[in-house]
Amino acid sequence: MASTVSSRPIPALYTVYILRSTMRHASLYIGSTPDPPRRLKQHNGVVKGGAARTARASLRPWEMVGLVSGFPGPVAALKFEWALTNPHLSLHIPAESRLSVARQTKKNGHPRRPPASMHSILANLHLLLRVPSFARWPLRLHVFVPEVHAAWNKWTSEAAAAAAAAVDAPEALLAEPVEVLTDFKPSVPDMYGADEAELGPAWGIHALPLDYGPMRDYVDKANDIFTFEREGDCAVCNTPLPAGQGLYAVCPNAGCEAVGHLRCWSGHLLESETHNHDNGHEHDHEHEHEHEHSHDLGDGPLVPKRGHCPDCGGPVIWGDMMKELTLRMRAPKEVEKIVKAKRRQEKAADKAAADADKAASKAAAAVAAEELPSSIEIVPSAAAKTTKTTKTTKTARATKPATTKTKAKAKEPEKATKITKTTRVTKAASATLSQTAKTAKTTTTAAVGDASAVLLDRAKSPEVIVL
Ligand SMILES: [Zn+2]
Ligand SMILES: [Zn+2]
């Protein structure tokens, strides 16, 4: 079971979300998914598979007010989801910084989950994003509702003030700030009563990239390097990298082909992280202490979070690098699909450009020959005007001024050509998009299968998740 999960590549997206009833704001639900728009449809009963707790018609429709992204996989997301749903039990939250305390017990003697409010969820989220076991993942908080963002900011500043004032502040509260992204609904009046997903530009959960699309160039570059054996020397230790051996990671920055041993990259990034936190004294000791600390938590070797490439100096996020590496090592077919999609997109763009060139030269030739090309008819207003001119030309073909007029009007085809070009490009783009959507669907289904299997497992033995 566990081996099946770990042999998959890091998913393009995995989130833990906060769901709120638009009918009753106090009704909240926490879940995890690789596909928030589809999951929301399930909760709202548009497609099958919503949770029983969200099935009550009087509470629908639900909205996702925020979510956390950046989980390396379904198991990681489920751990976080569980800790956020059961803050009174989670071992990720040290007893002294526990904000939710169980005051009642169930019939079986287990502590009853305290009722969750938006305030308690945000407070626990604030804490969980900072505890060592979760802070090492590249987690980001996305907020889609202004009032929830305001509540988050209020809690964050209060917690910071409290931590600064306290003598024995929990270490977690003093850690680096969490990355927060907001994407609020645009204030466009809903004139048509259309589905918000289809109205205007995509926002919130509808604007999240669900597939590996944003990584396309990176995946393609890495694939090229290893296909043509351009590994070269390790960017960190400078020793040659024999082709087809070991785990090599590639710099994610465009144009940089820095390749290195996995351990070298990890060491390099960890070292720069230590220097960033260096206050100028005893940093060696602190570093050692950090290592011990992570072993105490049973998390294995300390995993870096971010840093810079030794070659190009560009930013490197460890999670992104691992996403590419796991795709390359565990899902060569997925890499093939991504590279093929990129080639198709490039080809379509080339063809559109070539077609536009052809049409433009045709139009130019037509103008030169003083003919009215047929393509002019696709622009109605231009066509109408031209018809008039044509009449004039017909009745007074030999007259000079009329010919000049025709020439001037014949310039219109250039515009028409331009319009055609745009349409072609859009068509090519949407073809690529639908292809990408298909790819995403396949990946998603697989990941969901995985997640539900883990859920079943969790139901049987909760200790699997609570480390
Ligand atoms: Zn090396
Ligand atoms: Zn680089």
253 CA distance to ligand 2 middle (Å): 5
Distance between Cα 326 and ligand 1 center (Å): 19
Whole-number Å distance, alpha carbon 259 to ligand 2 midpoint, is 8
> d(Cα 345, Cα 365) in Å, to the nearest integer?
30
Among the bound ligands, the one closest to the CA of 268: 1
pLDDT of residue 66: 98
What spacing in Å lies between the alpha carbon of 338 and ligand 1's midpoint? 28
- Ligand 2 centre distance from Cα of residue 258 (Å): 5
CA 178 – ligand 2 centroid, Å: 25
Which helix H or strand E contains 291, and what residues bound it? helix 283-296
The C-alpha atoms of residue 172 and residue 128 are separated, in whole angstroms, by 8
Q: Ramachandran region of residue 81, left (φ > 0), alpha (ψ -120 to 50) or beta?
A: alpha
Distance 316 CA to ligand 2 centre (A): 8
Ligand 1 centre to CA of 250 (Å) is 12
250 C-alpha to ligand 2 centroid (Å): 8
Helix axes 400-410, 380-395, angle to 10 degrees: 160
Distance 71 CA to ligand 2 centre (A): 24
Say how many Å lie between the CA of residue 229 and the centre of ligand 2: 18
- Residue 311 token pair: 């070659």
**pLDDT for the residue 166:** 75
Q: What are the CA-CA distances from residue 255 to residues 225, 241, 250, 258, 349 (Å)?
A: 12, 19, 11, 9, 21
For 221, other C-beta atoms within 10 Å of its C-beta total 18
Domains of the chain, by residue range, sit at: 2-211, 215-330, 342-438
Looking at all shown ligands, the one closest to residue 258's CA atom is 2
Ligand with the closest atom to the CA of 257: 2
How many whole angstroms from 248 Cα to the centroid of ligand 2?
Answer: 14
- The whole-angstrom distance between residue 128's C-alpha and the CA centroid of its chain comes to 21
Q: Which two tokens stand for residue 411?
A: 């310039």
Please give the distance, rounded to the nearest whole angstrom, from the Cα atom of residue 241 to the centre of ligand 1. Answer: 8
> What CA–CA distances, in Å, run from 101 to 89, 115, 327, 407?
9, 10, 41, 83
Q: Are 447 and 74 in contact (CB under 8 A)?
A: yes
Cis preceding-peptide flag for 36 (omega within 30 of 0): no
Q: What tokens were used for 177?
A: 């700030």
Distance 134 CA to ligand 1 centre (A): 28
* Continuous H helices in 36-145: 36-43, 74-85, 118-128, 132-135
Say whether 63 sits in a helix, a strand or coil: strand
272 in Cβ contact with 258 (< 8 Å) = no
> Residue 251: nearest ligand to its CA?
2
Residue 419 CA, distance from chain mean position: 32
Domain at 215-330, CATH homologous superfamily: Zinc/RING finger domain, C3HC4 (zinc finger) (3.30.40.10)
Can you give the pLDDT at residue 27? 95
Where does 314-467 show beta strands of DSSP type E? Answer: 315-317
Successive 10-residue mean pLDDT values, the chain, 467 residues? 64 96 95 96 92 92 96 93 83 59 63 77 91 87 96 91 74 70 78 54 91 94 95 96 91 97 94 63 39 37 86 95 94 94 89 88 76 44 40 38 40 40 40 40 34 33 29
- Gap from CA of 176 to ligand 1 centroid (Å): 29
- How remote is the CA of residue 230 from the centroid of ligand 2, in Å? 15
| Structure confidence at residue 91 (pLDDT) | 62
